[in-house]
Structure 1
């Protein structure tokens, strides 16, 4: 869906982005991850031509973005900013309706789509006539997301969209983000410097440093098959928690025993991440959990100790491969 070829951006002698290439498949979420100044936001802004590159090409759905006018290009791409980018003197309704007005939608169609998005994003219609400064940070960010989604673009670009939120609000919005059907149909590139966020939300991660992509891979590949010492060191401080959130229960399936008898304890899908599996013991005061394989419907059962033993067996296998 998106293909970036040999993309560079130089500001004088500074190589902000230095000859990078990557691709994003349809309906994937690619994360550009790295410290401040690594080139990730510059890369994002070149995709919708807010910044013109020094060299290279970008294709969206097979079309070269430089063969379109920037205005037409941007109408087909949703864009979410860190500080939501809402116009302070526009109401919520007016902010969301900006792109539909540019596309000359009639009023009824716009109102229907806005209403639909408010419901999906857990916002009340009472907010429509409010101004951004009357809303909480989380509400403002949801409105910014609604504005980016309103014309149903195939591509969504997100520049540290949750960076200004407190940890509790961010965690809640992360859960909503993963569950929202609107986003499952999008091809997304998201910029973040938050390692946990990248691993929680990304299908693939491009880890950048000094304008270059150091490694491009799945969260699991970055954790268990780091390309070099930079990748290993970048993730080291949060490694255990990242492993818990990256590994799924089906990854440790072979080290969990079949359930001898199906107890009445609530079960989990094998697609559940390992962290959520551990939390299940804490919040449900359960001695064992049942895990159901989505494809075969087979059920296996594990105690906390058995689940942790399976986790370390899986890690051992990954280390030796």
Structure 2
């Protein structure tokens, strides 16, 4: 869906982005991760032409963005900012509807879509006539996300979307973000400097330093197959917690749920087949049940997992990775 080829950008004598290339498959969430000044936000802004590249090309759905008018390109891409970027003199309803009105949607269609998104993002309809300064930080961020999603764009760009929120609010919104059906069919590039957030939300992570991509891979690849000491050191302090988030339960248990739709079940709740070990341990910890049922595509139970089973499988997997 997104292809970046040899992209570069300099400011004065500083190379902010230095000849980087990567691809993002349709429906994938790629995280641009790194410390401040590594080039991740500049990269993101070049993808919707808020910044023009010095060299290189960007293709979205096979089309070269440099051959499109910037304003038309941006209307087809959802964009979420760290400080939400809401217009202070617009109501919540007006903020969410901005792009839909630019595209000349019918008013009835706009109202239906705005109401639909408010419900999905757990915002009460009483906020439709409120102004941004009347909302909490978490509510403002939900409105910013609704505005980016209103026209149902195929591509979503997010620049530190949860960075201005407190830890508790951020964790809650991250959980909602993962569960939101609207986002499961989007191709997303998200910028963050938060390592835990990257491992929580990313299908792939592009770790950047000094304008270059150091490693592009799955969270597990960065942890267990780092390309150099920079990657190892970058993840070292939080490594154990990151391992729990990077490892999928289906990859470490035997027998695993089938590849074509197997799931897990806890207290009657169906849990996703690609859930992380961290997610499973959390759910088990706060449940009265002692084990999780493993079910195949026909919903037939093929096994049970308790806390000890999960931890044993985890350490066995780590041992196996160390020998590869």
TM range (shorter): over 0.9
Task: Tell me how far 1:212 sits from its aligned partner.
Answer: 0.2
* 1:229 paired residue number: 229
CA positional deviation for 1:161:
0.3
Which runs of 5 or more residues in structure 2 are unaligned? 257-265
Q: What residue is the counterpart of 1:22 in the other structure? A: 22
Counterpart in 1 of 2:44? 44
Contact 1:28–1:186 (CA<8 Å) still a contact in 2? yes
Q: Does 1:315 align with 2:295?
A: no
Structure 1 partner of 2:89: 89
Deviations, residues 172-231 of structure 1 (Å, cap 9, x unaligned): 111111111111111110000001110111111100000000000011111111111000
User: Matches of 2:98 and 2:269 in 1, distance apart?
Assistant: 46
Change beyond 3 A, Cα 1:281–1:106: closer
**Structure 1: distance between partners of 2:240 and 2:40:** 25
Structure 1 252/296 Cα, relative in aligned 2: closer, same or farther at 3 Å? farther
* Structure 2 residue 97 is matched with structure 1 residue 111: no
Map of 2:64 onto structure 1: 64
Unaligned runs of 5+ in 1: 257-262
Q: TM-score of the superposition, structure 2-length normalised?
A: 0.92
Could you tell me how far apart the structure 2 residues matched to 1:198 and 1:229 are? 19
- What SS does structure 1 have at the residue aligned with 2:52? coil
SS at match of 1:128: helix
Deviation at 1:245, TM superposition (A): 1.2
Give TM-score scaled by structure 1 length.
0.93
Which residue of structure 2 lines up, in the alignment, with residue 260 of structure 1? none
CA deviations 1:62-121 (Å, max 9, x no partner) are: 111010111111000110000000011111111111111111112111111111111111
Q: Is the 8 A contact 2:27 2:186 kept in 1?
A: yes
- Distance in 2 (CA, whole Å) between partners of 1:306 and 1:74 is 48
Q: Secondary structure at the match of 1:111?
A: helix
Query: In structure 1, what is the Cα distance between the partners aligned to 2:268 and 2:47?
Result: 49
Post-superposition offset of 1:264: 8.2
Alignment partner, residue 187 of structure 1: 187
Contact kept? 1:291, 1:300, Cα under 8 Å: yes
Aligned length: 316
Alignment RMSD: 2.0
Query: CA 1:289/1:155 → structure 2, altered by over 3 Å: closer, same or farther?
Result: closer
The within-5 A match list for 1:1-321 is 1-254=1-254, 270-294=273-297, 297-321=300-324
Instruction: State whether residues 265 and 290 of structure 1, in contact with CA within 8 Å, keep that contact through their aligned partners in structure 2.
Output: no
Query: What's the CA shift for 1:252?
Result: 1.7
Identify if the C-alpha distance between structure 1 residues 297 and 245 changes in structure 2 by more than 3 Å, giving closer, same or farther.
farther
Report the Cα distance in structure 1 between the residues aligned to 2:273 and 2:117, rounded to whole angstroms: 31
- Tell me if structure 1 keeps the 8 A contact 2:293–2:301: no
> Is this contact kept in 1: 2:267–2:289, CA < 8 A?
no
In 2, distance between residues paired with 1:180 and 1:266? Answer: 17
Change (3 A) 1:183 1:264: closer
Q: Is the 8 A contact 1:223 1:235 kept in 2?
A: yes
2:261 alignment counterpart: none
- Kindly tell me: are residues 68 and 127 of structure 1, through their superposed partners in 2, closer, same or farther at Cα, counting changes over 3 Å? same
CA–CA separation in structure 1 for the residues paired with 2:267 and 2:68? 59
